[in-house]
C-alpha cells in the first residue's frame, strides 16, 4: 500500500501527470471486479447517497453533509484515513464505520455486489 501511495503522489508531481493519472484511474475501475458503473449509478440513486453528497450524474444529489464526490476517482484517500484503493472503497460504501469508527457516514448495509457497482461508478468521476 505504501508503494502505491508513493506512486500516486509521484504521478501528481511529474510532467506527464494527466496521462499517467488517467491510466491509473482506468486500472482502478477495472480492478473493481464485477463492478458496472451504470448499475452503480442506479444503486447510488436508490440508496439516496445524494442526501449527503454532491455526486455528478445523479439527479438531485446536492447534499452537503459529506464531501462532494466530484473527481472522487482522483482522490488519494477515502475519508482521509485509508488509501483510495478499490477493495477499501467497496468496504467503505458498505460500512464506513468499520474503517473509521467516528465517521459521520453511516453503515448503509449495501451488499457486496451493490458496493462493487457503486465503487466502479465512483471511479468514473474524475
Ligand atoms: C447520512 C449522510 C451520508 C450518507 C447517506 C452517505 N454518506 Fe458518504 N459520507 C458521509 C460523510 C459525513 C462522509 C465524510 C466521512 C469522513 O471523512 O469520515 C462521507 C464520506 C464518503 C466517501 C469518502 C469521500 C472522500 O472524499 O473521502 C465516499 C466515497 C462516500 N461517502 C460515498 C457514499 C455513498 C456511495 C453513499 C450511498 C451508498 C453515501 N456515501 C451515503 C455521509 C454520508
- Mean pLDDT over residues 48-77, rounded? 96
Taking the CA of residue 43 as reference, the ligand 1 atom at the shortest distance is: 38
Q: What is the pLDDT of residues 7-30, one digit of tens each?
A: 444 444 444 444 555 566 566 666
How many domains, in total, are found in the chain? 1
5: its cell numbers: 501511495
Residue 28 grid coordinates: 482502478
Domain span including residue 71: 2-122
SS3 content of the chain, % helix, strand, coil (to 5): 55, 5, 40
Compute the average pLDDT of residues 70-94: 95
Q: Find the residues whose C-beta lies inside 6 A of ligand 1.
A: 44, 47, 49, 51-53, 65-67, 69, 72, 75, 78-80, 92-93, 100, 103-106, 108, 110, 118, 122
Q: Whose CA is nearest to atom 36 of ligand 1?
A: 49
Q: Which residues pair with 75 in a beta bridge?
A: none
- Per residue in 28-52, pLDDT (tens digit) is 666 677 899 999 999 999 999 999 9
Gyration radius (Cα) of the chain, Å? 14
117 in helix, strand or coil?
A: helix
| pLDDT at residue 102 greater than cutoff 80 | yes
11 in Cβ contact with 24 (< 8 Å)? yes
Q: Report the CATH number that the domain containing residue 75 is assigned in CATH.
A: 1.10.760.10
Q: What is the pTM of this model?
A: 0.83
Amino acid at each position: 500500500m505504501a508503494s502505491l501511495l508513493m506512486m500516486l503522489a509521484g504521478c501528481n508531481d511529474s510532467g506527464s501527470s494527466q496521462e499517467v493519472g488517467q491510466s491509473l484511474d482506468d486500472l482502478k475501475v477495472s480492478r473493481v471486479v464485477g463492478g458496472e458503473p451504470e448499475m452503480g449509478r442506479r444503486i447510488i440513486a436508490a440508496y439516496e447517497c445524494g442526501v449527503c453528497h454532491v455526486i455528478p450524474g445523479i439527479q438531485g444529489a446536492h447534499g452537503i453533509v459529506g464531501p462532494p464526490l466530484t473527481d472522487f476517482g482522483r482522490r488519494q484517500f477515502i475519508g482521509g484515513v485509508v488509501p483510495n484503493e478499490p477493495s477499501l472503497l467497496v468496504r467503505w460504501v458498505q460500512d464506513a464505520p468499520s474503517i473509521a469508527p467516528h465517521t459521520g457516514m453511516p453503515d448503509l448495509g449495501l451488499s457486496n455486489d451493490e458496493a462493487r457497482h457503486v465503487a466502479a461508478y465512483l471511479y468514473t468521476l474524475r
